[in-house]
Structure 1
């Protein structure tokens, strides 16, 4: 039953990286998620949403209920998505500034994050970005995001063997399998929320 429902329902996922570098490992996770969804996860369509054009949050930029064009376009992408995939690097034990800025713009009334399923993946040193994930989950509570709880995906990008190539593309097959499990869990959570 679950498989037939998934086959009929297209889940549109907005994927956001907290790192703006083209060769960042977190953007590499998103590129890999897009490839995996096209090849092996039926019913999931992932679109990378670039947050680099967003100005720093400043409510003086809001005029008569409208936002700057880049913000309007970003908010529309989030509004149209069924669920969200965050790739969140860890900066100083927390969420990267570009990601927090994007989150705050899309939370301006009306909050376009509300009632969406979400998942977080991260790559970095040490804990693999885990602390940023915990902070993002806290922010998500206020935003009414519904994060999957399992599987968790933290990837130590610097521990041998190599997980990424020099362009930031994920090359580790075991990590790709784990990433696929995250996408399947996100698909399942999204379908459950849509049936409510």
Structure 2
């Protein structure tokens, strides 16, 4: 039976390096696994006042159903002001509500942060992990995936350097081992 990995990209920019990296990670999934990119850019900001019958935004319902349908989750994100972009934090919040109905619990996770800067999104990576602990998303601890200096790892045609792809493959392989251990 094919396992589905939901991929959430924390950047909305059309030509985002994060989207490029997320697509490469999706390609590296082994046989028996498939990627499903889940849109987060159209989610209205979470507001508990809308969490009543007849007011729940259609986008929230669609999103929650899509997240329920996946077996594991990848988060690929830039760092904004030393933290997680609002669009990604909002997706976590929408999926965690209403209270007691979170769609996140128990899905093995991977956090990858991508940045033009040297630290590779360290702050966002750790802030995201902090939220995932509360949401009961067991997350791969090693190897850590801070992809710094991304513009130096991608050529003008959008191809990621071979040694970087090898690093992504190692991360993918470790995630699959982690996923299979948790879901036996």
TM-score, normalized by the shorter chain, greater than 0.5: yes
Give the root-mean-square deviation of aligned CA atoms: 1.8
**TM-score (structure 1 length as normaliser):** 0.85
- Which ranges of 4 or more aligned residues in structure 1 deviate by more than 4 Å? none
Matched with 1:129 is 121
Q: Secondary structure of 1:114's partner?
A: coil
Which residue of structure 1 aligns with residue 154 of structure 2? 164
CA distance in 1, matches of 2:56, 2:70: 19
TM-score w.r.t. the length of structure 2 is: 0.91
Distance 1:111 1:65, change over 3 A: farther
C-alpha distance 73-170 of structure 1, shift in aligned 2 (>3 A): farther
* 1:150 and 2:142 aligned: yes
The C-alpha deviation readout for 1:18-48, integer Å capped at 9, x for no partner, is 11112111111111112222xxx22221111
Cα distance in structure 2, aligned partners of 1:65 and 1:174: 51
Give the unaligned 5+ runs of structure 2: none
Ranked by relative contact order (alpha carbons within 8 Å, sequence separation 6 or more), the top structure is 1
Q: Which residue of 2 aligns with 1:29?
A: 21
Please give the secondary structure, in 2, of the residue aligned with 1:90.
coil
Cα deviation for residue 177 of structure 1 reads 1.2
Which residue pairs with 2:11 in the alignment? 19
Determine which structure has the larger helix proportion and give its number: 1
Alignment gaps of 5+ in structure 1: 1-8
Q: Quick check: 1:157–1:164 contact (8 Å CA) kept in 2?
A: no
Q: Which runs of structure 2 are paired with 1:1-196 in the superposition (5 Å)?
A: 9-37=1-29, 41-64=30-53, 67-109=56-98, 110-124=101-115, 125-158=117-150, 162-165=152-155, 169-195=158-184
Could you list the per-position Cα deviations for residues 155-174 of structure 1 after superposition, in whole angstroms to 9, with x for gaps in the alignment? 11357xx212457x452111
CA distance in 1, matches of 2:154, 2:69: 31
Closer, same or farther: CA 140–158 of 1 in aligned 2, 3 Å: closer
Cα gap change, 1:16/1:170 in structure 2, threshold over 3 Å: closer, same or farther? farther
